[in-house]
Structure 1
């Protein structure tokens, strides 16, 4: 299915077969494509690039399609990787984290730091963190494949 080019987000680089590889939803997803392009919120004289997940309901392109600035996509990737690293060692803790020290890490970015922490405001955190950890374990093969691919690309780029 072709990603629309007549909407406010202007695709430049696309993956139009995303429904074939959308994790456990592959073959049965409304996420039909990914694109990098000119952001829909651009003003005259100001151009931002965004990443977009294109959703199609079967009848029309969905308003639930998500568009994110590239730095946020990368920030989410950093958050995912740091969380995965935590959960590799989380078995050490009775509740899969230290309630006395819920901050997992502070990652320096732009002169400050991104906090990575267990959400202790979640009243069901002890249940939810176990479900989260199990889901990470269940999806390990799929996530690992993507991380190995990302790692190879980053190494090839000199990072």
Structure 2
């Protein structure tokens, strides 16, 4: 399925077969494509690049398609990596984290640091963290494949 080019987000680099590789939803997903392109929020004289997940309902392109600035996509990737690393060792804690030290990491970015922490404001955190951990474990093969691919590409790029 071809990603539309007549909408506000202007695709430049696309994956139009994303519906076939969308994790456990592959072959049965409304996320039909990914694109990197010119952001829909661009004003005259100001150009930002964004990543977009294109959703298709079967009849039309959905308003629930998501568009994110590239740095936010990378920030989400950093958050995922730190979470995966935490949960590899989380079995050491009774509640899968240390309630006295819920901060997992502080990652320096642009003069400050992104805090990665367990959300202790969630009143059902002890239940939810177990469900999260189990889901992460269930998807380990799929997530690990993508992390290995990302690692390989980053190494090829010199990072």
Structure 2 stretches of 5 or more lacking a match?
A: none
Alignment of 1:139 onto 2:139: yes
CA apart distance, 1:58: 0.5
Q: Distance in 2 between matches of 1:26 and 1:124?
A: 31
CA apart distance, 1:87: 0.3
Q: Distance in 1 between matches of 2:152 and 2:119?
A: 32
Residue 85 of structure 1: SS of its match in structure 2? helix
CA apart distance, 1:116: 0.1
* Aligned counterpart, 2:14: 14
User: Residues 74-96 of structure 1: CA distance to partner in whole angstroms, max 9, x if unpaired?
Assistant: 00000000000000000000000
Q: Distance in 1 between matches of 2:158 and 2:58?
A: 41
- Which stretches of structure 1, 4 residues or more, deviate above 6 A after TM superposition? none
State TM-score, norm by structure 2.
1.00
Residue 34 of structure 2: SS of its match in structure 1? strand
User: Residues 133-159 of structure 1: CA distance to partner in whole angstroms, max 9, x if unpaired?
Assistant: 000000000000000000000000000
User: Residues 96-120 of structure 1: CA distance to partner in whole angstroms, max 9, x if unpaired?
Assistant: 0000110000000000000000000
Residue 42 of structure 1: SS of its match in structure 2? coil
State TM-score, norm by structure 1.
1.00
Q: Distance in 1 between matches of 2:11 and 2:99?
A: 44
Count of residue correspondences: 159
Alignment of 1:75 onto 2:75: yes
Q: Distance in 2 between matches of 1:108 and 1:63?
A: 34
CA apart distance, 1:9: 0.0
User: Residues 2-44 of structure 1: CA distance to partner in whole angstroms, max 9, x if unpaired?
Assistant: 0000000000000000000000000100000000000000000
Q: Distance in 2 between matches of 1:50 and 1:102?
A: 32
User: Residues 43-74 of structure 1: CA distance to partner in whole angstroms, max 9, x if unpaired?
Assistant: 00000000000000001000000000000000
